[in-house]
Amino acid sequence: MRGAVFECLQFCRCREPKRCDLVCPRAPRRFIERCMEVGGFNLGALPRFAHVSAPVLPGTVPLLYGASGRTRLLICAAVAVPLYKMMDRRSGLPRFVTRESLAQSFRFCDNAALVLSGTDCDKSLERWWAIRDKGPLFEALVNLRPALVTSPNYSLPVNVPRHDNLHSMKRIGVSCVDLGLAGIPVALHVNARTDSDWDAWSRFVADRPEIGSVAFEFATGGRTVERRDWYVEKLLRLRAGAGRSLGLVVRGGLQALSELALAFESVTYVDTDSYVRTMKRRRFDPHVGNWVSLSTTPGESLDNLLACNAHEVARHVEHLTGRRLPTNDVYHEPWQPSLLSEPSLVKRRTQSADR
């Protein structure tokens, strides 16, 4: 793009506004409907809710997408599960109504602290928004006793009319407040594209002491060093402007953790890699800080590999932050006791270390 952007419709390239689904004044009827569904773009107009305190979470929490290839429970102090796995994709009704059924489905110990992560693809986010009556879903979430839920992270693309971004920000605010009003401990996901967006979130957080934690995702827009540094600067300014203790839940952005850990009272890194890499038969090598291939036999259980990966990633995060973080190991030991029952994995791990 050359030159500056002078007006909100600079990125409107639509030749058929009536068929476009963006929030744009050139399709007046749809624009009014989309504005009305969020009550306008003013974040300050959202209702207040009572603060629900969240327990101290470990420095790193593994995200489980399912239970493929596993037969035993993952033993750790805290786990994360995608928020949208809690609902049926078609009906929007809850899939789990008890903590025990959820823990059994994802195979983790049911006394682990539960984080429900609201970061996901646009399809999942839109399904969540489309549920008109979230009462049954919220009731089920309360029964699941989550330690923390991060609010949905609606996208703010760069090549759309400005109104579409403002609409997404308001949807983030509405979703956060709805969870808070239901009595669910919630972390506000901040998603912003411009300086004024960050100013709006900073004012919103500063004015609302009921928000005890914020969430941010670096993987999508923060992959370049310049953009990542910009996000870190804005997060630090948001924390300074809050004028109170504030926790941070992060997905991606490993290189930014050390600086963020100095400013926020608690930083929890949602480990999105351990489960996915385990399913692909990869092992995290702490000596090189990267993933290496691992041969497995047909039908071999992946329980121990997942436990090893989650633990080693947590140790790596602790090393990057330069400070001791709350452990996610129930036994405060390098491996789960069950790891000793699989000689092949122990042998492979020892051989790798010897190299």
Q: Which of 215, 262, 218 lies closest to 240 in space, CA to CA?
A: 262
Kindly report the pTM of this predicted structure.
0.87
- Could you name the CATH architecture of 56-354? Alpha-Beta Barrel (3.20)
Distances 339 to 64, 95, 308 between C-alpha atoms, Å = 19, 31, 8
- ∠ Cα 198 141 216 (to 5°): 20
Residue ranges per domain, the chain? 56-354
| pLDDT digits (tens), the chain, 355 positions | 444 555 666 666 676 666 778 888 878 888 899 999 999 999 999 999 999 988 889 999 999 999 999 999 999 999 999 999 999 998 999 999 999 999 999 999 989 999 999 999 999 999 999 999 999 999 999 999 999 999 999 999 888 888 999 999 999 999 999 999 999 999 999 999 999 999 999 999 999 999 999 999 998 777 788 889 999 999 999 999 999 999 999 999 998 999 999 999 999 999 999 999 999 999 999 888 899 998 888 889 999 999 999 999 999 998 887 766 666 765 444 434 344 334 344 344 334 333 3
Distances 206 to 168, 252, 318 between C-alpha atoms, Å = 20, 25, 29
Structure tokens at 69: 């290839």
Distance between CA atoms of residues 146 and 55, nearest Å: 10
| Helix (H) or strand (E) segment spanning residue 91 | none
How is 24-74 classified by DSSP, letter by letter?
A: -TTSHHHHHHHHHHHTSS-GGGSPP------PPPPSEEEBP---TT--S-B
